[in-house]
Amino acid sequence: MANILVTGGAGYIGSHTCLELLNAGHEVIVFDNLSNGSGESLRRVEKLANNSLDFVQGDIRCQDELDRVFQNYQIDAVIHFAGLKAVGESQQIPLTYFDHNIAGSIQLFKSMQKAGVFSLVFSSSATVYGELNPSPYQEDMPLSLPNNNYGYTKLVIEQMLEKMALADARWSIALLRYFNPVGAHKSGQIGEDPRGIPNNLMPYVTQVAIGRREKLSIFGHDYPTKDGTCERDFIHVVDLAKAHVLALSNRLNNQGCRAWNIGTGAPISVLQIKETFEKVNGVQIPTEFAERRSGDLPAFYADASRAKNELGWQPQYTLEDMLADSWNWQKHNPNGFS
């Protein structure tokens, strides 16, 4: 069992991963500035795990704060979630995104190196495949420039990590390329709690269902897909969290930098999400068709065979589980953690 530093652990994917880490017997130290995360989510994680974790409030852009954590704890490995993630916002304020995501990551890697900690799991994204690759995406496809600044930061960090691992064989790095994380822990105690108007489909759907938003706008219905709406590869957040625990054990026993897709491999359309949500949960989602959203690709989904073969990871949850669990979380927490 190991001592794991989890940056961004108070956020959506981070909190679910902390729970899985505790359940697997690891010690967890969360480092988060709470800009988009919540202390309450960590309290609930502790209750669910019946175990405690340590929380340090701090910003990954601050070298001193990071160095202090590595001095105060004997860290074995890092899972790095912290960063900003809103695609639209990244187009408005690129420098802020470069600062949090790229500069913040560099500070973290420097502190790790100084402390002699070289095992890392990094939250990457399918966005690094860019617009030129056909689905299903495979890890060894040449990456291409994403069409937004958020995606660009993920590509830059991946490339830095590859170069660091080439230059110094002590590094052992997992690049987990997430597809579309949705769902929540079965208990309904932790889940996604976006601030302001949600950018992503799933929290928008659940907020319409609970009456916080009037209706769902489906962006585009003339795409070359089975029903004209975009297709994505939705993955249950608990399956995603479990992939981190497996990637971590893999990295604690290997060297180099390796990428894994974390998706189900099944393309699901936006319309299918709305219709299945209504059927599974017995709730209507008032909907309109709207213009295409700039930058959206018609369809993307994973070839997830590498994660299965090398990490022994396979998704356990169905689409129905994802939609039932998203609703269960929203229903029990109409205003999120607040």
Which listed option, ligand NAD, ligand UDP, none, makes contact with residue 221 (CB within 5 to 8 Å by class)?
Answer: none
Minimum Å gap between C-beta 305 and ligand UDP is: 21
The active-site residue, picked from 12, 129, 137, 150, is: 150
CA–CA dist 243, 258 (Å, integer): 14
Name the residue among 228, 135, 142 with its Cα closest to residue 179: 135
Question: Exposed, middle or buried, 158 (CB in 10 Å: 0-12/13-18/19+)?
Answer: buried
Name which position in 51, 63, 113, 200 contacts ligand UDP (CB under 6 A): 200
For ligand NAD, which is the closer residue by CB, 151 or 220? 151
Minimum Å gap between C-beta 203 and ligand NAD is: 10
Q: Find the binding residues for ligand UDP in span 243-272 (CB under 6 A).
A: 270
Question: Is residue 218 close enough to count as binding ligand UDP by CB under 6 A?
Answer: yes
Question: Is residue 307 close enough to count as binding ligand UDP by CB under 6 A?
Answer: no
Query: How far separated are the first and last CA of the chain, in Å rounded?
Result: 34
Active site residue 150: yes
Minimum Å gap between C-beta 216 and ligand UDP is: 6
For ligand NAD, which is the closer residue by CB, 169 or 197? 197
Going residue by residue from 124 to 163, which x/- string records binding to ligand UDP, judged by CB under 6 A? ----------------------------------------
CA–CA dist 240, 9 (Å, integer): 14
Q: Which stretches of the chain are DSSP H helices?
A: 12-23, 39-49, 63-72, 87-92, 94-97, 104-115, 149-167, 201-209, 237-252, 270-281, 305-306, 319-332
Name which position in 43, 186, 293, 331 contacts ligand UDP (CB under 6 A): 293
Angle (deg, nearest 10), helices 319-332 and 270-281:
60
Minimum Å gap between C-beta 11 and ligand UDP is: 16
| Chain residues that interact with ligand NAD, rule: CB under 6 A | 8, 10-14, 32-37, 59-61, 81-85, 100, 104, 123, 125, 178, 181
H or E element at residue 268: strand 268-269
Enter the DSSP assignment of 116: T
For ligand UDP, which is the closer residue by CB, 103 or 297? 297
Q: With beta carbons less than 8 A apart as the criterion, state whether 191 and 46 touch.
A: no
Question: Is residue 40 close enough to count as binding ligand UDP by CB under 6 A?
Answer: no
For ligand NAD, which is the closer residue by CB, 81 or 223? 81
In this chain, which stretch among 11-19, 25-33, 115-123, 212-220 interacts with ligand UDP, using CB under 6 A?
Answer: 212-220
**How many residues in the shown chain lie near ligand UDP by CB under 6 A?**
14
Phi and psi of 310, rounded to 5°?
-100, -30
Question: Is residue 217 close enough to count as binding ligand UDP by CB under 6 A?
Answer: yes
SS3 (DSSP) at 33: coil
Q: With beta carbons less than 8 A apart as the criterion, state whether 6 and 30 touch.
A: yes
Helix and strand counts by DSSP (H, E) for the chain: 12, 13
Name the residue among 181, 201, 200, 214 with its Cα closest to residue 285: 214
Question: Is residue 201 close enough to count as binding ligand UDP by CB under 6 A?
Answer: yes
Residues lying near ligand UDP in the complex (CB under 6 A): 180, 199-201, 204, 216-219, 230, 232, 270, 293, 296
Active-site residues, by number, are 150
